Amino acid sequence: MRLQHKLLNWFHKNQRPLPWREHYRPYEVWVSEIMLQQTQVETALPYFNRWMKILPTIESLARCGEKKVLKLWEGLGYYSRARNLHKTAKLIMEKHGGEFPNDYDAILSLKGIGRYTAGAIASIAFNQGKPIVDGNVLRVLSRVYMIKTPEQFSASLPRSAGLNLRYARGSARIRTNIWDLEESLIPKGQARFFNQALMELGALVCTKDNPRCGICPIRRFCVAFKNNKVANYPAPKKRKKIVKVTASALVISKDGKFLIHRRPEGQIMGGLWEFPEWKLARNQKISLAEIKEKTTKLVKNKLGVETIGLKHLGTIKRNYTHHLETLYVFLAGTIDRHKSKVRTAESWLSSWVGRKDFRRYPFSSAHAKIAKLLA
């Protein structure tokens, strides 16, 4: 039995029951694929279910306000993805009469949809033979064919490995890339299930650490397994050096309300709300006393307020694109006459908000924790 048949049989018996697999509606496949970029299925599921309950159609998403869209996305990170979903829904309403386009090039031209997502929507929603290569697929194919640098490679691919012989006869040496290789494996009319089967195998069996080769349905086709070299594939990526950042955030209140800002569009996490925050140091050790001193100066310079002491409320760690940030949260003690004078940067929308209303504002996950702390 060929690799493809083994894999398809395995998928039909072992796939996880996921909501976007019930009807394969393009809108659901699209939203799930965007949510699943750099997020585990278990984390994305409650977000997906809540999203579909509130925004069940492209039309409802297009009509929704951006603040609500970002609120539904709160905690998933990469907020430009939520904004792109929103913009693209509006465009689909205008240009495609609310129907998700099924033409691959039309899908690829949509904002926020790259080669991977276009392939996922075309194959999973519309069952078209378009390739998908995510981290899971790349890992599986790299091991099955013993390919160290899967982006562009030259290798001898054995006929027995189940390759659709578009590129090679027998075990001829071929030069190709991982996308073309994946596409050449898709059995006719089976793109929807085959692409998902490869991804599912990577997620459940051929995992990064401790692959379960003993129960793998395609181990007899797997060259790395036969050669006892699974641990060597794929070659590890060079990691970027981590930048350590120290930052402080300020909780300042007036008449029971707290000052929050909206980050301008075009900035990282644009459109999200946060308590006033400043970066204080990069890759440098800094004591709590120094952090307080720097923050006090910034509060005076940036907000025009004299503080009479900062109370350390807590510390939050967060990661974003090779940055590891330690955020110190302070409660500002201020002289009452200064509170009315608080000023904020012109390009930043500011608001004084009561505890109960925090839930209406989309915060980044670190600032959502501060809001929770206060609420």
Positions marked active-site: 33
Written as one string, the DSSP assignment of 262-313 is: EPPTTSTTTT-EE--EEEEEES----HHHHHHHHHHHIIIII---EEEEEEE
- Which of 29, 44, 72, 140 touches ligand SF4 (CB under 6 A)? 140
Binding of ligand SF4 by 213 (CB under 6 A): yes
224 is a site residue for ligand SF4 (CB under 6 A):
yes
Least gap, CB of 222 to ligand SF4 (angstroms): 3
What is the crossing angle of helices 79-95 and 66-73, to 10°? 130
Per-residue x/- track, 323-362, ligand SF4 (CB under 6 A): ----------------------------------------
- Residue spans of alpha helices (H) in the chain: 3-14, 20-23, 26-35, 41-54, 58-63, 66-73, 79-95, 104-108, 115-120, 135-144, 178-185, 191-204, 223-226, 288-298, 336-339, 365-374
| Residue 210, phi then psi, degrees to nearest 5 | 50, 55
Q: How far is the CB of 188 from ligand SF4 (least distance, A)?
A: 23
Segment (H or E) for 260? strand 257-262
- Interacting residue with ligand SF4 among 222, 272, 303, 366 (CB under 6 A): 222
Structure tokens at 223: 């060259």
At 254, list the tokens.
Answer: 């007036």
Q: What is the distance between the alpha carbons of residues 233 and 141, in angstroms, rounded to a whole number?
A: 9
With respect to ligand SF4, which residue has the nearer C-beta, 215 or 375? 215
Query: CB under 6 A: which stretch of 29-37, 177-185, 218-226, 330-338 binds ligand SF4?
Result: 218-226
Of 206, 269, 303, 342, the one binding ligand SF4 (CB under 6 A) is 206
Query: Is residue 48 classed as helix, strand or coil in its secondary structure?
Result: helix
Between 198 and 327, whose beta carbon lies closer to ligand SF4?
Answer: 198
In the complex with ligand SF4, the residue whose CB is nearer, 206 or 310, is 206
Q: Residues 61, 205, 245, 259: which binds ligand SF4 (CB under 6 A)?
A: 205
Please identify, using beta-carbon distances, which residue of 92 and 230 lies nearer to ligand SF4: 230
Using rule CB under 6 A, residue 216 touches ligand SF4 = yes
Task: Give min distance, CB of 327 to ligand SF4, in A.
Answer: 40
DSSP states of 310-331:
EEEEEEEEEEETTEEEEEEEEE
Nearer to ligand SF4, 13 or 337 (CB): 13
Q: Which is nearer to ligand SF4, 205 or 305 (CB)?
A: 205
Q: How far is CA 21 from CA 8, 16, 147, 290, 364, in A?
A: 15, 9, 31, 53, 30
- Please report whether residue 219 would count as binding ligand SF4 according to CB under 6 A: yes
Q: Which residues pair with 153 in a beta bridge?
A: 176
Window contacting ligand SF4 (CB under 6 A); options: 34-42, 107-115, 136-144, 264-272: 136-144
Whole-angstrom distance between the N-terminal and C-terminal Cα of the chain? 60
Q: Which residues bind ligand SF4 (CB under 6 A)?
A: 140, 143-144, 205-206, 211-213, 216, 218-219, 222, 224-225, 230
